[in-house]
Structure 1
Amino acid sequence: MQSFRTEIENPVVEKDIIELADKIAAFNNLQIDEEKFRSLRLARGVYGQRQAGVQMIRIKLPYGKVKSNQLRRISEVSDEYSRGRLHITTRQDIQIHYVDLNRTPELWAELERDDVTLREACGNVVRNVTASETAGIDVDEPFDVSPYADALYKFFLRNPICQEMGRKFKVSFSSTDEDTGLSYLHDLGFIAKIENGVRGFKVMVAGGLGSQPRHAETLYEFLSSDKIIPVMEGVLRVFDRYGERKSRAKARMKFLLKDIGLEAFRDLIAQEQKAIEFKTVAIDVDSYVASTPVSVETPKVEIKDQAAFDLWKSTNLIPQKQAGFVAIGIKVLLGDFYTDKARLLADLVDTYAAGEVRLTLRQNIVIPFVKEELVPYFYQELEKLGFVEAGYNKAVDITACPGTDTCNLGIASSTGIAVELEKVIAAEYPQYLKNKDLIIKISGCMNACGQHNMANIGFQGMTVRTPDKLVAPALQVLLGGGNLGNGNGVFADKVVKVPSKRGPEALRRVLDDFEANANGNEFVNYYKEKGEKYFYNLLNDLQDVSNLTQDDFIDWGEEEKYVKEIGIGECAGVVIDLIATLFFESEEKIDSAKVAYNNKVYSGSIYYAYQSIVNSAKASLMAEDQKTNTHAGIIANFDTYFITSKKIELETSFSDLIYQIKNAAPTEEFAKKYIADANLFLEKVRTYRNDETSVLK
């Protein structure tokens, strides 16, 4: 690990990587338990894989922007530590697979040479901040959201208020009212607006997908841009304190809003305002470094197939607000591409565009700032890479998560059926090559990483059981979802469940009926007009499992008979239940509070002290088998069980002690006092615990 100390210039990053290396060593030496270690590695982008003994690494790429040097660096890392395949996710990250756990610190160090991080790519943290892939070039945008997404990402990275939440937290930015960032299904979604000459955002809160999708509510119709960071801090503080922690199935913020309502949530945010250090945070747009297109002569080009070129131009070129430029959309099958092509792509955009690519929410690639006269040359060069398939963001461009290929939670193949459905559309429905209206998405399980339940046509991996109890892979067919724009959307209905091998026939029936009976309506309106029962009757016979053939028991893309294998999911991190570990963490939080205090980061030091106090209380309650579902619940229960009963004596109630964080401004004086309070409280509860343990012995 010595090389990290000498080769990484940023001491904060260096500390992160050395800590990961130390924790891996401790885990290998059985010095920390698996659950505790899992939570730490997840927050460092190291994710368990379906295959034993290897890890998936999620590389965090804010708002999908990747510079050419970063793409080369990621390619080098993938070749050295993985298998040379890069997977684009629906959150604009890149994932690489089959990585040895012990090599992850050096992998991370290599990425950081070009400012690429793994930090908080997984776990119960603020995940990658996503944005419209056309941010900065969109012809309809009121302004470029990239500087705002960038500032928000940087402000909350490593921020103590969002390091140990009950569940993950997702944020998006949309450039226009078209809402291509999908604000309505995020914990916080921002849609760019201008009011009276002031830049700001419509703010959506508490949306989500998964097994129980929930439409986000409007928190603000308009919020000036200098308020987005303080508002998000207030939201995170409330979620951290009141969000569920014990039951992972109910721990997303959407459930908190469902339980208490929007107005009560607003009140809780208001109660946090005194504790928030910065009431406004003006974002310096001018300091944001945007990519600059190169000036280069147009090479000579010979187009071999003019018809194919014309078709590609009609589906894969994106208008750009900068005169004389267009963007190119690259359709990437399943979001998978390889490092040899990635390097050549990096060279191409370096030499002839603006030295960057954008990763999209639909697992594709966008090249911005291509001069119009260079389009034929780009087609020629991209054709050499196999990157000129027509149909970018059209019906033939299906989104799918990795599913049973690598994910622990995958139930049935999502990638295999995606390939098959694209073949069906290309061969039998060529008119959909240009159809932007139809969106098809597939997930391998109910967690909806493929966003299937917001699609016009969605498929979810499941199983069916025959009368003689044989198990076959299956697909839940969902219909009628869609993005309506400006923070509005519709979630798809679950219509039928069919054996996976009947997925193509289900698609054919829906498309045939759409062709015959839509009467010019878009799919969302067509489905709404016909109704769920209509489609149930259309597809119902495909549910019959009494007549399955041997082929039905072999999933798409597989050769062996299907076996249902579901591991333990890691998407949401874990709940740590070891009392001694919690006390130890309380000590660590106090140490972190002191470091932040010495660096004059008083707001951060106060929050570390708060985490120490609540951890200590949680450990005490768990030792007595009391509920610890939420921070607010821990605080109330500690008063009831320990203070009212006088088992532990404080100078005030526990609520008054810990809730000083809400009632005091984050000053140097209060930070010093609160750290001392945290230290004294830890001593008291640990002494009580030791005394009780001694009596039992």
Structure 2
Amino acid sequence: MSILLTDNVSPAARRDILDLEQKISSFRSGDIADEAFRKFRLTRGVYGQRQPGVQMIRIKLPHGRISASQLVRIADLSDKYATGNLHATTRQDIQLHFVKLADSPQLWAELEDAGITLKEACGNTVRNVTGSARAGIDPLEPFDITPYAYHVFDYFLRNPICQDMGRKFKISLSSSEKDSAYGYMHDVGLIARIQDGKRGFKVMLGGGLGAQPFSAQTAFEFLEEDRIIPFIEGVIRVFDRYGERQKRHKARMKYLLNDIGLEELLRRIEEETPALKNKIFSVDSAPFSVSEQYADRPEVSGYTLETENQKLNNWFKTNVFEQKQAGWYAVQLRVLLGDMHSDTARALAQIVKQYAADDIRVTVNQGYLLRFIRPEDLPAVFEALDALGLAEPGFDTTADITTCPGTDTCNLAISSSYGITRALERMMHDEFPDLVFNDDIKIKISGCMNGCGQHSVANIGYHGSSLKNGAYVLPALQVLLGGGFNGKGEGLIADKVIKIPAKRGPESLRSLLRDFEANAFDGEYYSDYYARQGKNYFYQLLKPIADLKTLVDSDYIDWDHTEQYVTEVGIGECASVLIDLVATTLTEASEKLGWAQEALAESRWADALYHAYNVFITGARAALMSRDIPTNTQHGIVSDFDKTFAVGPSHGNGAGFHEAEGDFKALVFSINKQEPSEEFARRFIAQADTFLQAVQAYRNQQIEQEGAPELQELTQAQDS
């Protein structure tokens, strides 16, 4: 099948798409190992589902920004290649499910035609850059973070420093001190500030969720705006160099920070300064400035809407706010489960074209935000949205639960997220109708401990799990409490309190809400109430619900299911394969040398240098693997190679690559000692080329003396 590529597709994207098509062909013919292909496709936004033979496609929307026409394009492609559903995520992406692998290159090509990418939406790369959806219209913001979010995204897209890290890397930008983009749970979290009349950001490092969530540490209370991108580049380079690579569960930035401490991390970041592509990076805000047509309209500022339609009144109170541009209003859409049908998406795009600015934002709680709506148009907008089921009051309130897809599609999920979310929202609607006006308590749900639903930063969180009762297993929910923001605006990580049968989720939430109503002080935030009462208080409160002696037959059946529950591991995409790991690694090094030479030809000195650096790392890893020496961090690979392959009788290996121990380390790490000039790039690439040839010659000699290597089995690993 030939890929149709329009003139709107950039040369870089064109090559990526054709490369994906070629790799799919090689994978299907057995010429590329499953694990290598998995790593490749993930960085192209193609993610294996729980169901065999189909993929989830993650569409990368920087800062969640999307135009009406782009929304229509995604809807059309969902109809053409997927299921007609658009799933909004907590990272402001849109996902399509049940896509055939063979269709993914053409789907990508048709997205790129509309200015949308899949590149680095998954995998061990810089993931989508998220930000406050209200940016640019937020009455509390010191300035609009939109251009900064876009330039961070653009700077690291296809950047050599973050193409093959130990794990994923996440960045967020918040408009104000409310930290609505949850910077405190990101690898790098930025909060907009002005100091002495200058723009800048509070910088937080090393936050993260998963099985062991960490709050980020403050690196700077204020860092000038033009130093932000160079600083992040330094952080990523250090993470790439020293981050864990073997123990996947320890391979996040938060563990590196925890191991070496903030002071040492900042020292290592400073060491990278000479090698940075840019020492300062000024952001051009002009393309993102508000058009003159959206100037203040003070004659209609402070508009109120009161009608006999109670739903309309509630919608206006909870889903609508006046922007910082006086007389203009924004409308927030509450979307159950983050799922929107393609027909609904197309109709929404028409509403935007008629009534709003062509700048839709996907929100971090899986909704949508429409901007620059005239107050006199709000009743008509409500009617149009209500006809689509998009005018439910209570956006980002207690009644608006954030959730991941769970076992509906995800390989890693343990129990149903969608089912319990529907049940909880239904219970709150029936028994606690006023919660649509409560925006202090946030409820978040994930299908497993990994935290795509961000349960660890919820005031009340749940994640999917399982429980054993004798010979039987039942679906369960781990209850977490006390996360999110307290009354001081501090971001907190929730405590694990107790595990309960999944079918008792509504009973647990009912108990928690009634307890809060009865015992909280007036105006007390939920996380402050949790801290005041203490973990044991809530454990005792929920303990009767966790009692397995009172189980009934329905407790063994998960939400949205009729069959008895069993714990399932996601199905891999194909059988295991046998490969020569050293040869595969050397091929990878050769590819990186090609990228270095290409960057050199295009006068991209910093990029060329980093590709060449990776040639040294990958080649050294191959040589160490040939001697059955385990490898881990890049820094460790260099040190071990330096010691193992130095010339001299003390080493006794007969395969010296350098005269004395320390020589190889000095050569490789010279990358961060000099400015990225043409002369340095040419020399460094030539040295990398010579080194790779030497490693390949050594490997050929080893095979000649010892015989062909024993092929090793690789099986499908889980995506994440």
| TM score, norm. by length of structure 1 | 0.96
Q: Which residue of 2 aligns with 1:200?
A: 200
Q: Which residue of 2 aligns with 1:29?
A: 29
Q: Distance in 1 between matches of 2:426 and 2:3?
A: 49
Q: Distance in 1 between matches of 2:215 and 2:6?
A: 48
Q: Which residue of 2 aligns with 1:132?
A: 132
Q: Which residue of 2 aligns with 1:323?
A: 326
- Structure 1 residues 564 and 633, CA gap change in structure 2 (3 angstroms): same
Q: Which residue of 1 aligns with 2:79?
A: 79
Which of 638, 654, 657 is the equivalent residue of 2:664? Answer: 654
**Matched residue type, 1:202:** K
Give the 5 Å matches for 1:564-579.
Answer: 564-567=567-570, 578-579=581-582
Q: Distance in 2 between matches of 1:22 and 1:489?
A: 45
Q: Which residue of 2 aligns with 1:496?
A: 498
Which of 556, 569, 591 is the equivalent residue of 2:559? Answer: 556
- Structure 1 residues 472 and 2, CA gap change in structure 2 (3 angstroms): closer
Q: Which residue of 2 aligns with 1:678?
A: 688
- Conservation of the 8 A alpha-carbon contact between 2:486 and 2:528: no
Q: Pick which of 278-287 and 56-65 moved more.
A: 278-287
Q: Pick which of 1-10 and 590-599 moved more.
A: 1-10
Q: Pick which of 2-11 and 385-394 moved more.
A: 2-11
- Conservation of the 8 A alpha-carbon contact between 2:52 and 2:572: no
Q: Distance in 2 between matches of 1:623 and 1:54?
A: 36
Q: Pick which of 350-359 and 58-67 moved more.
A: 350-359
- Conservation of the 8 A alpha-carbon contact between 2:184 and 2:215: yes
Which of 352, 371, 374 is the equivalent residue of 1:349? Answer: 352
- Conservation of the 8 A alpha-carbon contact between 2:9 and 2:112: no
Unaligned runs of at least 5 residues, structure 1: 571-575
- Conservation of the 8 A alpha-carbon contact between 1:4 and 1:18: no
**Matched residue type, 1:639:** D
The secondary structure found in structure 2 opposite 1:259 is helix
- What percentage of residue pairs aligned between the two structures are identical? 49
Q: Distance in 1 between matches of 2:406 and 2:103?
A: 25
Q: Which residue of 2 aligns with 1:211?
A: 211
- Conservation of the 8 A alpha-carbon contact between 2:81 and 2:99: yes
Q: Which residue of 1 aligns with 2:633?
A: 630
The secondary structure found in structure 1 opposite 2:191 is strand
The secondary structure found in structure 2 opposite 1:284 is coil
Q: Distance in 1 between matches of 2:442 and 2:206?
A: 24
**Matched residue type, 1:149:** A
- Structure 1 residues 612 and 291, CA gap change in structure 2 (3 angstroms): farther
Q: Which residue of 2 aligns with 1:309?
A: 312
Q: Pick which of 164-173 and 551-560 moved more.
A: 551-560
Give the 5 Å matches for 1:374-389.
Answer: 374-389=377-392
Superposition RMSD in Å = 2.0
The structural deviation recorded for 1:291 is 6.9
Q: Which residue of 1 aligns with 2:713?
A: none
Q: Which residue of 2 aligns with 1:573?
A: none
Give the 5 Å matches for 1:39-54.
Answer: 39-54=39-54
Q: Which residue of 1 aligns with 2:474?
A: 472
1:79-136 Cα deviation digits (max 9, x unpaired): 1000100000000000000000001000000111110000000000000000001000
Q: Distance in 1 between matches of 2:492 and 2:580?
A: 38
The structural deviation recorded for 1:290 is 5.3
- Conservation of the 8 A alpha-carbon contact between 1:171 and 1:186: yes
The structural deviation recorded for 1:625 is 1.7
Q: Distance in 2 between matches of 1:505 and 1:345?
A: 36
Matched, 1:260 2:260: yes
- Structure 1 residues 694 and 335, CA gap change in structure 2 (3 angstroms): same
**Matched residue type, 1:492:** A
Q: Pick which of 304-313 and 175-184 moved more.
A: 304-313
Q: Distance in 1 between matches of 2:9 and 2:319?
A: 41
Which of 508, 518, 521 is the equivalent residue of 1:519? Answer: 521
Q: Distance in 1 between matches of 2:361 and 2:292?
A: 14
The structural deviation recorded for 1:304 is 9.2
Q: Distance in 1 between matches of 2:213 and 2:267?
A: 25
Q: Distance in 2 between matches of 1:695 and 1:67?
A: 62
Which of 336, 339, 347 is the equivalent residue of 1:336? Answer: 339
Q: Which residue of 2 aligns with 1:64?
A: 64
- Conservation of the 8 A alpha-carbon contact between 2:487 and 2:525: no
- Conservation of the 8 A alpha-carbon contact between 2:484 and 2:494: yes
Q: Which residue of 1 aligns with 2:459?
A: 456
Give the 5 Å matches for 1:155-554.
Answer: 155-288=155-288, 306-467=309-470, 469-484=471-486, 488-520=490-522, 521-554=524-557
- Conservation of the 8 A alpha-carbon contact between 1:191 and 1:487: no
The structural deviation recorded for 1:431 is 1.9
- Conservation of the 8 A alpha-carbon contact between 1:179 and 1:486: no
- Structure 1 residues 65 and 462, CA gap change in structure 2 (3 angstroms): same
Unaligned runs of at least 5 residues, structure 2: 574-578, 708-720
The structural deviation recorded for 1:332 is 0.2
**Matched residue type, 2:313:** D
Q: Distance in 2 between matches of 1:293 and 1:510?
A: 48
Q: Distance in 1 between matches of 2:420 and 2:308?
A: 30
- Conservation of the 8 A alpha-carbon contact between 2:67 and 2:359: yes
The structural deviation recorded for 1:3 is 4.5
1:536-585 Cα deviation digits (max 9, x unpaired): 11111222213321111111111221121122799xxxxx9921111111
Give the 5 Å matches for 1:597-612.
Answer: 597-612=600-615
The structural deviation recorded for 1:651 is 4.9
The secondary structure found in structure 1 opposite 2:330 is strand
**Matched residue type, 1:457:** I
**Matched residue type, 2:92:** Q
Q: Distance in 1 between matches of 2:566 and 2:306?
A: 49
The structural deviation recorded for 1:649 is 2.8
- Conservation of the 8 A alpha-carbon contact between 1:600 and 1:668: yes
The structural deviation recorded for 1:486 is 9.3
**Matched residue type, 2:479:** V
Q: Distance in 2 between matches of 1:514 and 1:244?
A: 42
- Conservation of the 8 A alpha-carbon contact between 1:294 and 1:351: no
Q: Distance in 2 between matches of 1:8 and 1:2?
A: 17
Q: Distance in 1 between matches of 2:377 and 2:460?
A: 36
The structural deviation recorded for 1:2 is 4.8
Give the 5 Å matches for 1:84-123.
Answer: 84-123=84-123
Q: Distance in 2 between matches of 1:525 and 1:78?
A: 43
- Structure 1 residues 524 and 260, CA gap change in structure 2 (3 angstroms): same
1:387-407 Cα deviation digits (max 9, x unpaired): 111111110000111000100
Say how many residue pairs are matched: 687
The secondary structure found in structure 2 opposite 1:125 is coil
The secondary structure found in structure 1 opposite 2:549 is coil
The secondary structure found in structure 2 opposite 1:643 is coil
- Conservation of the 8 A alpha-carbon contact between 1:292 and 1:354: no
**Matched residue type, 2:338:** G
The structural deviation recorded for 1:8 is 4.6
The secondary structure found in structure 2 opposite 1:138 is coil
- Conservation of the 8 A alpha-carbon contact between 1:579 and 1:620: yes
Matched, 1:690 2:700: yes
1:292-311 Cα deviation digits (max 9, x unpaired): 86899x9xxx9996122111
Q: Which residue of 1 aligns with 2:711?
A: none
- Conservation of the 8 A alpha-carbon contact between 1:593 and 1:604: yes
- Conservation of the 8 A alpha-carbon contact between 1:204 and 1:487: no
Q: Distance in 2 between matches of 1:608 and 1:164?
A: 11
- Structure 1 residues 5 and 92, CA gap change in structure 2 (3 angstroms): closer
The secondary structure found in structure 1 opposite 2:548 is coil
